[in-house]
Amino acid sequence: MAAEKEIVRLENVGLQYGSGPEVLRDISLSLAAGSFHFLTGASGAGKTSLLRLLYLAVRPSRGSLHLFDQDVSSIGRKQKPALRRRIGVVSREFGLIAHLTAAENVALPLRVSNARETQIRDYVTELLRWVGLGQDLDELPSALSDVQKQRVAIARAVIGRPDLLLADEPTGSVDDNAAIRLIHLLEELHKVGTTVLVATHNDSLVNRFGHPAYALDGGEMRRVGRVAGIRGARRPG
């Protein structure tokens, strides 16, 4: 059987900010195309740093990072936009532009790609309806609840039909029911072939959905597998 196509591959990656200590050490990780993974770990474990590596906000201090079969460990500035357009990012703080409406925020990835306005209008309306915000197209983020903001952020992350979706604590500021509905939304994207990696410190959420999980502890990848099945397990050595 042919090997599954890898969207992400990290080999012995280390990350250091300036001259500080390494916040990620010897990280090796592989995400197959169309997979859904959780990335767990306590606050400060390095989840956000790992995601920042994956959406090219920082470069690894050592090791190799491959995205879409391309070594991006030392990629140039000019090559980043094309790769970033293949990656959707949902951040913990929503990352919405305060003076733009929900529709304008969602449209942003298409606008920076110079898509046609008619196409943008159709896609944005469709996506905001899909996330349940069909009536809130013209609302500013300040008029939306945290759950609604997170839905706008998800709509913006997926409007460009990304190959890889990275979500950093997308459920961090919503209640359990809303969190479950948000993960269901991400699962729908996964069903259409998007590779999804969700960073969360919420173990019960990870257990409920049963997708494979990578776990970070103090900057090291300690456990691999479903949280329920690997609790207490340690990497050999």
Partner 1 sequence: MTSGRSHMGRVLPLGRDASSRYGAWIVAATVYVAALGLAAAMAIASAEQSWRGTFAGRISVQVPASPDGTENRVAETVALLLATPAIEEAVPIDEAVSRALLEPWLGAGPGLDALPLPTLIDVRLRRGTELDIVALEVALDAAVPGTRIDEHGLWLERVLRFTRALQAFGAALAALFALTAVATAVFATRAGLAAHGEAIGIMRLVGARDAGIARQFVAHSRNLAIKGGIVGCALAAATLFLLGRFAPGGTALMLPEMTLSPMQWGALAGLPLVVTALGMASARLTVMRALSRAG
Say whether residue 117 binds partner 1 (CB under 8 A).
Answer: yes
Say whether residue 234 binds partner 1 (CB under 8 A).
Answer: no
Say whether residue 141 binds partner 1 (CB under 8 A).
Answer: no
Residue numbers 20-79 binding partner 1 by CB under 8 A: 55, 57-59, 77-78
Neighbours of 118 (CB within 10 A): 8
Amino acid 196 reads: V
Min dist CB 108 to partner 1, Å, is 5
Nearest C-alpha neighbor of 19 from the set 61, 74, 55, 75: 61
Q: In what order do the strands lie in the sheet with 195-200?
A: 87-90, 164-168, 195-200, 36-40, 213-217, 220-225
Min dist CB 124 to partner 1, Å, is 12
Residue numbers 174-213 binding partner 1 by CB under 8 A: none
Please give the Cα distance from 65 to 27 (Å, whole number): 10
Say whether residue 170 binds partner 1 (CB under 8 A).
Answer: no
Nearest C-alpha neighbor of 75 from the set 86, 66, 63, 85: 66
Among 24, 102, 110, 227, binds partner 1 (CB under 8 A): 110
Nearer Cβ to partner 1 (55/214): 55
Q: The tokens 């474990």 sit on which residue?
A: 45
Binding site for partner 1 (CB under 8 A): 55, 57-59, 77-78, 80-82, 84-85, 89, 95-97, 99-100, 104, 107-118, 120, 156, 160
